[in-house]
Amino acid sequence: SLTEQMDTTTPQGEFLFHVFGALAQFERSLIQERVQAGLAAARRRGRRGGRPVVIDAEKLAAVIAALDAGATKASVCRTFGIPRSTLVDSLARIGWSPVLNRQEGGTSGLSTDIDGGTDRTVVRPAD
């Protein structure tokens, strides 16, 4: 019982201590198996876990169109009401990355916009 002492200095106490440890480890393994089986079953049913996506595909397409039109990330975030970190994460998730506008001759052609940032364009990677 829980109120009785267990003397782990004796061979019997040490054995009992190891048996309890093995039972706890076994139970933990069973729990892990059940959780993995449940997640796999949910995936087969089409259920996706994790946090809901803040920017859906339609909104992301509009955001990308705005960025392609020359809008800054800051202005896009204000317009669509999304945090900048969410925008950056969403663009990274689909493989888009900001690339500095280049003038002819290969030099960097940065110009400061109203927000004090730099003009950037988003380039879609080759499929």
- The per-residue pLDDT for 44 is 94
- The per-residue pLDDT for 98 is 62
Distance of CA 76 to the CA centre of its chain: 21
- The per-residue pLDDT for 25 is 98
Which token pair is 119? 């003009």
- In the three-class reduction of DSSP (H, G, I as helix; E, B as strand; rest coil), residue 6 is classed as coil
Length of the chain: 127
User: What are the per-10-residue average pLDDT scores of the chain (127 residues)?
Assistant: 81 93 98 97 90 86 88 92 91 74 33 41 49
